[in-house]
Structure 1
Amino acid sequence: MEQLQTGTLAGFKDYLCAVGYSSGSVQMLWSCTRAFFDYREQVPANVMPADILSFYEDLQVRPSLRGEGGLSGKMVDHYLYSLRVFFDWQQAVGLVMAHPMSGLQLRRLGSGQRLPLSVAEVTALFGAARHEREHAALHLLYSCGLRRSEAVLLEPGDVWPERGVLYVRRGKGARRRVVPLASRASASLGAYLRWLAVWVPGGSPRLLVGSRSQGMTGDRLCGLVKALGKRAELKTVVTPHRLRHSIATHLLARGMSLEQVRDFLGHRHADTTQIYAHPQNVGL
């Protein structure tokens, strides 16, 4: 048993390094996963949802090793995330047939979370858009997962609807990336570019413009999506980052790998992307 766990956990550590986790996160994920197998003393293929639930309950009463009291809610979330990544890997390489965390809806205990919108809420948001500019802004922030700063710095020539791609030339950390456009995003951005050519006949240096044909500021973009949220009668405040958070969570829930979502978002490390891995039901 011990040799099997040691070999499997060593393979898990190699996998984490290969997909781009930072060294600190590799150690944290590995140690959290090992703690589970020390607790249950089972081989991965025999782990059942009830075992995960039992461990989750134990974590909430387990004393902290770094001070008085129990584990923080954020630390409990780290344990759960580690197991999810571990069994995602085990299932992907065919070592387990059924994911023991599939279908489990365990409440996240960490504070200060910015939860994603559900698919139904995103659909309502797009339904509330009335203008080409509003549709384009939503597609840039949700369908393309752009940061607010990336969206307002885009130039018309950075969007190629006919090729189905968008170029982010000035991403965070001066990193560039190519973002694929889904068919609806391509159609919407193509319609917006045609509108923009009429609205600013001499050509606009920025893709997103305000009512005075000048480049839209980040604050103005925030106000636009917040207003759309109110128009859609959503009970939560909508922000550009929340839309980026939402598409990342939805892609992960649909089965896209963490490293693919990492590249899509323009993150340097996969542990940044893990923030968006919410196990709760997002309406898919």
Structure 2
Amino acid sequence: MSNKSIALQSAEYKLLLTGFTEWLQLLNYSPLSIPVYATALKDFLQYQEQNNKPSIEQLHAPDAQAFILQLQDKTGQRTGRPLSHKHINKYIQALLLFSKYIRQTGRSVIGLSLQRLEEATTKPVWLTTTEIQKLYDVTAQTILGIRDKAMLAVYYGCGLRLNEGACLELQDIDSTKKVLHVRKGKGYKERFVPVAEKNFEAIKLYLDHARPQLLQQVRTTAFFIDANRGRPMQKQSLYVRVKQLAKKAKIKKKVGTHTLRHSIATHLLQSGMKLERIQQFLGHGDLDSTQIYTHLLNDAT
């Protein structure tokens, strides 16, 4: 990213950057993503200034492509290596959003057409049903053990992402329909996730017996409660707890909450569930993201 000490010179561009940032906020983009996109746009606007184009009226579609091409020729200040495709794709995504912003707000009719670069992908790790059973087997017959089973029910049984599970609240558990209401999914998308009977029993046992004891004097609607302070569990604590279970179960693979998500998706596919239903279950924005599990199965056979 750019050196933050370098300021834009064009007053028009400064207003444009502010407007773009506020637009992203209105669209409920993640507070973590907004600064990344804003910084990337700032870099592009500085590039335009350096090329004597300090006004939106001087913007042309090829400018964006030229900016991306010069990024591909750059090397990282710390690594000395070319910028990764993943890094450059953040710029591409920012410019595509900027293109949408200027057209929607009437600032320009120019459309910036850019193609994302292919990123090097690593195949996700998943556990066999035997390994999943080992995780359940090492949960203790204690208050924390009951909470551990509820965590496995949420992250494996329901396939939630780490943040989705951390953001669960009491009102998100529909005991009548036996579904979880995921209100804060990726991209702020909501979905309802069905809970299998065995997983629902684990969740209910936690709610009825373990959670009240963990709460102490704290009043909160958070689903997962910290053992020491009676407060909502943070994402890192949930992640670490899953890793501790995997270590206790002597599973050699690198295990985290997302491993459980990959595992349930793979097992559902093995059981014959259609990709479209798995896509809905996981909350994937497109089917391409779900297709990875067919490759996992092919590699395993």
With normalisation by structure 2, the TM-score equals 0.55
User: Which residue of structure 1 lines up, in the alignment, with residue 191 of structure 2?
Assistant: 177
2:214 aligns with one of 173, 183, 199: 199
> In 2, distance between residues paired with 1:282 and 1:135?
27
Residue ranges of structure 1 left out of the alignment (5+ in a row): 1-109
Out of 167, 180, 188, the position equivalent to 1:153 is 167
Per the alignment, residue 23 of structure 1 pairs with none
Distance 1:281 1:121 in 2: 18
Q: Is the 8 A contact 2:265 2:293 kept in 1?
A: yes
**Corresponding residue for residue 82 of structure 2:** none
Matched with 2:94 is none
Q: Does 1:136 align with 2:150?
A: yes
User: Over the residues paired in the alignment, what is the CA RMSD in angstroms?
Assistant: 1.9
CA distance in 1, matches of 2:183, 2:214: 25
Q: Taking structure 1 as reference, are residues 203 and 187 closer, same or farther at Cα in structure 2, changes over 3 Å only?
A: farther
Larger-gyration structure (1/2):
2
Shift of 1:276: 2.3
Unaligned runs of 5+ in 2: 1-119
Identical aligned residues as a percent: 36
Mapped to 2, the partners of 1:188 and 1:199 lie a distance apart of 16
Aligned length: 174
- Separation (CA, whole Å) in 2 of partners of 1:111 and 1:266: 20
Which letter maps to 1:205? T
Q: Deviations over 1:173-232 (max 9, x none)?
A: 111111101011110000111121343266422101111111111111111000000111
Aligned position for 1:248: 265
Alignment of 1:1-284 (within 5 A): 112-130=122-140, 131-194=145-208, 195-200=210-215, 203-211=219-227, 212-277=229-294, 278-280=296-298
- Return the alpha-carbon distance in structure 2 between the equivalents of residues 149 and 143 of structure 1: 16
Contact 2:127 2:263 in 1 (8 A): yes
1:141 and 1:148 in contact (8 A); partners too: yes
Following superposition, the deviation at residue 260 of structure 1 comes to: 0.1
**Structure 1 counterpart of 2:275, one-letter code:** L
1:132·1:191 contact (CA, 8 Å) conserved in 2?
A: yes
How many angstroms does 1:237 deviate by?
A: 2.2
Moved more, 154-163 or 206-215: 154-163
Distance 1:202 1:213 in 2: 6
Once the two structures are TM-superposed, the CA of residue 281 in structure 1 deviates from its matched residue by 7.8
Structure 1's 280 and 161: CA in aligned 2 closer, same or farther, altered over 3 A?
Answer: farther
The Cα of 1:125 is off from its aligned counterpart by 0.7
- The 1-side partners of 2:199 and 2:176 are apart by 11
Q: Which amino acid aligns with 1:114?
A: P
Q: Sort the Cα spacing of 1:280 and 1:125 in 2 relative to 1 into closer, same or farther, 3 A.
A: farther
The higher-RCO structure (CA 8 Å, 6+ apart) is: 1
